[in-house]
Amino acid sequence: MSTSNQGEESLDKSATSIEQNMLSSTFLSSAGHELRSPLTSILGFTSLILNGKTGEISDKQREQLTIVYESAQDLLDLINDVMDISRIEAGKNELVQETFLLDDVVNEVISKLKDAVMEKGLQCKVDIPPGIQVFQDKQRFNQVLTNLVSNSIKFTNSGIIEITGNNAGNEIQVSVKDSGIGIKEEDIPRLFEPFAHIYSKLESKPRGTGLGLCLCEKVVNLMQGRIWAESELGKGSVFTFNIPVELGEVKSE
């Protein structure tokens, strides 16, 4: 086969791959929107019943309805994560840049998750110098940090969760450290794979979509940063991500 023919074949394969990705993204987006509406209704009406808005219910009914509510929430989270990852992979996500203070976003995340922290009797320590300005996508930054802190809460039964952050040259570095169950060294490279479920062999299996860390990595990459993990089984984990203080030019569709 000539070099010319090989080049044309390569271009054809590339075009086919792009077309398939676009079709896949379109399908997932359409299916996701169709699925989210009934799930939102299930969550809404179940919440009304659990809150006693439709009358008294028995303890057994409350237990069963709570399972329904949590399962529907898990499915909705999964759909949202799949759609989000699909959009990022298809290049259809635009970052909305704005100036924000690092400690403000961290405090927002802590406030949002304080009930989960208190429910497990954990301590939460924050070490963020005030006044650090970032010019990035605040919502996306919040999303990554929320996922990491939520993950630490899930896998920490006692002890402390620490959030630290600071300037690292022209980057911001943020770490979430916990005193949780930790991760085997051989499992760390798989952490950011979709549906990895590293902890599936544990006796107590936490709820989750299996896409949270995968989504974190894709969002951090979108923000021109990097994310990594350090851990020791039985001694906790540290998840760290760096992003530029100011986002450079990013091409979006």
What pLDDT score does 18 carry? 36
What pLDDT score does 30 carry? 62
What pLDDT score does 238 carry? 96
Pair (102, 73) in one structural domain: no
Q: Tell me which of 55, 89, 123 is where a domain ends.
A: 89
Q: Tell me which of 66, 89, 112 is where a domain ends.
A: 89
Pair (83, 103) in one structural domain: no
What pLDDT score does 13 carry? 45
Pair (75, 31) in one structural domain: yes
CATH code assigned at 172: 3.30.565.10
With a cut of 70, list the residues of the chain below it in pLDDT. 1-33, 195-210, 248-253
Pair (234, 117) in one structural domain: yes
214/84 Cα distance (integer angstroms) = 11
Number of domains in the chain: 2
The pair of three-digit structure tokens given for residue 18, joined into one six-digit string: 């792009």
Pair (22, 107) in one structural domain: no
CATH code assigned at 18: 1.10.287
What range does the domain containing 223 cover?
Answer: 97-244
Pair (227, 131) in one structural domain: yes
Q: Look at residue 252 and tell me if it is in a domain.
A: no
Q: Tell me which of 59, 89, 119 is where a domain ends.
A: 89
Q: Look at residue 253 and tell me if it is in a domain.
A: no
What pLDDT score does 10 carry? 44
What pLDDT score does 26 carry? 56
Candidates 145, 77, 139, 150; CA nearest to 106 is 145
- Flag whether the pTM goes above 0.85: no
What pLDDT score does 208 carry? 56
83/122 Cα distance (integer angstroms) = 32
